[in-house]
Amino acid sequence: MALSLPPEEQSRLRLRIVRQIADDVAAIVADAEVSEVNGNVHLPKPPLVSALSRYFEEAGADGDTFIARCYGG
């Protein structure tokens, strides 16, 4: 049986889920192995991190915290 939640509760639940996903993705990016190309060490591609940061920020999560967690901050 599906329960209908008030809009305010739906919004809170949605935000909680988005924040959890942001935390999980940041942990995955932070644990990604660095790659070495021609003697240079490369972290996960910044455009991907930037795009995910904007996505999570627009959804209500903290984009700066996401970026900091991606890079071990």
Q: Do 56 and 63 meet the contact criterion of CB atoms below 8 Å apart?
A: yes
List, run by run, the mean pLDDT of 10-residue segments along the chain (73 residues): 77 84 79 64 64 78 77 67
What pLDDT is stored for residue 2 in this prediction?
Answer: 54
**To the nearest 10°, the Cα dihedral for 60, 25, 17, 20?**
-90
What pLDDT is stored for residue 1 in this prediction?
Answer: 46
What pLDDT is stored for residue 47 in this prediction?
Answer: 66
Q: Where are the domains of the chain?
A: 44-73
